[in-house]
Amino acid sequence: MQTPPIMDAQHLYLVPSECNWDGRGEEPSCDSVPAMQRAMRRPPHVPEDDELAEITEELKSQIQVIMPDAAWLQPLWMSAHFCVHEKERCTSDVLNFMWRNFAMLASRLFSTTPLPEVIELAIQYHSIALWLEADEATYQRLVSIYASVGREGDAARTVQEAIALNAASPEMLDQLGMGFHNNQMWAPALFAFKASHLLSPNVSTALNHLVYLRKRCADWDGINEQIAQMVTKVELSWTIHTSAPAEAAAQLQEETGHPWIFLYFPVSIVTKRVVAQRFALRERTVSLIKVPQLPQIEDKVQLEKAKILSDVESKSGAAKWRTSKRRLRVGFVSADFRRKATSYLIAHLFEHIDRSQL
């Protein structure tokens, strides 16, 4: 299989190149990495000895709050012990392993507690890990952190550096595109989605985002062929899902379509329904895997769950639910309860609510 081409950093056009020399003054360096990227890779401060020991203990205590059963991290703490107390055993491989995983844990902390100090800590640890060794997964997490906190410029420069060091991934470019998209920066978002799709044409995520944004920007050339690709991927995943459950479970890891995006396109209502069902199933599966259990609320959740299941399973409980005169309390949540189409269109729904039941 032919390897997709890795684009040169300057071809992203996300930061200005310094290679347009007018012949006056000192000639700039015009290698594949802009000067801004070289400046980014100046050595960060790498903690040692007492500072590293303090960082390790602090990180260990923070992780135990969100992951009480973290015995699997013992090799990481052992590597930190080597680098503090037994320097002869702190080889470059051990050092890289330690900081790569420190960065991963800092990213996990950021996902649960996105405080400013946690954000800066995560960025610092990722910078150290990447200075020691360019790693695709570490670059991708750093881009995701920057995009999550609205620092699209830093995310773009990080992607460029990853591309220049041959450590970029389609997912990283797609994350960058979403960051630009969320800030209504359509041109760089479109370019990032195109680059992601170029690097991995068989992955559906970037194709979904690319076709959606192309339609939004009235970029019609060849769009019908790409819409057909999207539909084909969904129909293929549907066939696998109905005929081979084992393969379908494995395929949940790959994005096959987003229900909101498919609403924009002239495809059958059956296809749109399949997209929504598989999206919901995948999101539920991912949430069960990735969402940490918080000890302080776990007991309460278990008690409430047991009570609900007991009510549903018991005959008296089921009868009580069916015959109770107590009205259901339902909340409607939206970002569009203002002078927008959603508010006007939903008024009819409120008018037809049976207030005796709801």
pLDDT tens-place string over residues 113-164:
888 889 999 999 999 999 888 888 899 899 889 888 888 888 888 887 888 7
- Of all residues in the chain, the percent with pLDDT exceeding 90 is 11
Nearest Cα neighbor of 79 from 70, 71, 87 is: 87
Rg of the chain over all Cα atoms, to the nearest angstrom: 25
pLDDT tens-place string over residues 158-206:
887 888 777 888 888 888 888 888 888 888 888 888 888 888 887 778 8
Given this model, what pLDDT does residue 34 score? 42
Given this model, what pLDDT does residue 18 score? 43
pLDDT tens-place string over residues 207-252:
888 888 998 888 888 888 888 888 887 777 666 555 444 454 445 4
- Of all residues in the chain, the percent with pLDDT exceeding 70 is 71
Residue 41 binned pLDDT confidence (cut-offs 50, 70, 90): low
What are 68's two structure tokens?
């009480």
Q: Regarding predicted confidence, which is higher, 285 or 221?
A: 221
- pTM listed for this prediction: 0.58
Residue 99 binned pLDDT confidence (cut-offs 50, 70, 90): very high
Query: What are the start-end ranges of the H helices in the chain?
Result: 35-40, 49-66, 74-85, 92-112, 116-132, 136-148, 152-164, 170-182, 186-199, 204-216, 223-243, 245-251, 259-262, 269-290, 295-313, 315-323, 341-351
Given this model, what pLDDT does residue 53 score? 92
Q: What is the mean pLDDT of the chain?
A: 75
Residue 102 binned pLDDT confidence (cut-offs 50, 70, 90): very high
Given this model, what pLDDT does residue 253 score? 46
What one-character DSSP code corresponds to residue 28?
A: P
Residue 121 has phi, psi (to 5 degrees) of -65, -45
Given this model, what pLDDT does residue 234 score? 76
What one-character DSSP code corresponds to residue 37?
A: H
pLDDT tens-place string over residues 324-333:
567 888 888 8
